[in-house]
Amino acid sequence: MHKPVLGILGGVGPLATAYFMELLIKKTPARTDQDHMPMIVFNDPQIPDRTAYILDHAQPNPQDEMAKVAHWLEEAGSDYIAIACNTAHYFYDAINEAVEVPVVNIMEETAKRIAETAGSGATVGLLATEGTVESGVFQGFFEQWGLQVKAPDAEGQDHITHLIYDCVKANQPYDEQEFLYEAWRLRKGGCDAVVVGCTELSVIYQELEKRPTWMYDSLDILADRCVDIYLTARRSGGLIEM
């Protein structure tokens, strides 16, 4: 297999993983099949729910299973790893420590991109799972880049949770306008930018006919970074630079 190989810790959730692979393929400047990046995907939808554990530690802990999948990806030949789930980054340190190869951090890459484009000091609206919002992990990365964070109110978070769990994860229809409405509420509430901080929401975002310029999709940003790592490594003889 040609190097470098991207390992994808997937299934969290399954449709978001498929969309991530599609993004990677579409973003790679390829003229032939052989120009595309090799990937090893472990689509494991039976990993326990991340938000459930974050909100209630009596629930099954997904950390060991995700670390095991990351280790398997490394053993199978992955040179670097991406996780197609924002909430899973609550467990990032444990996953990163389970392998020797680098693990791209979707939250860090997203915060960096927004800081570079919206400017340090900007206020960012966060559309994400309740687990991501309550954990404060995303907020920590934003703050490192000088960004302020604003989450939806209780009603807005209920709408976002419904879209994530009752619609996308459940393979049920969803209302794009409901998604855009919550984004606009944050925008009108003083946010300079709004981040699509859940990969299930990325599924909705990617299908929008018109995407607001002030919205940033974390899955899209992760795909950009993974393609950049791949292309840079190809030019340098396979050396991964993070």
191 noted as active-site residue: no
Q: How far apart are CA 143 and CA 145, in angstroms?
A: 5
The CA R_g of the chain, rounded to the nearest whole Å, is 17
Q: At 121, phi and psi to the nearest 5?
A: 95, -5
The 8-class DSSP code of residue 103 comes to E
On whether the CB atoms of residues 149 and 126 are closer than 8 A, the answer is yes
Catalytic residue among 85, 167, 191, 226: 85
Q: For 197, how many CA atoms within 13 A lie in the half-sphere containing its CB?
A: 38
85 noted as active-site residue: yes
In the block, tokens 């018109």 appear at 210
CB proximity list for 84: less than 8 A, separation 6 or greater = 8, 9, 10, 12, 16, 17, 20, 199, 219, 222
Q: Which among 40, 106, 47, 105 is positioned nearest to 75, based on CA atoms?
A: 40
Q: How far apart are CA 93 and CA 139, in angstroms?
A: 16
Q: How many CB atoms lie within 10 A of CB 44?
A: 18
**Catalytic center residues:** 85, 198
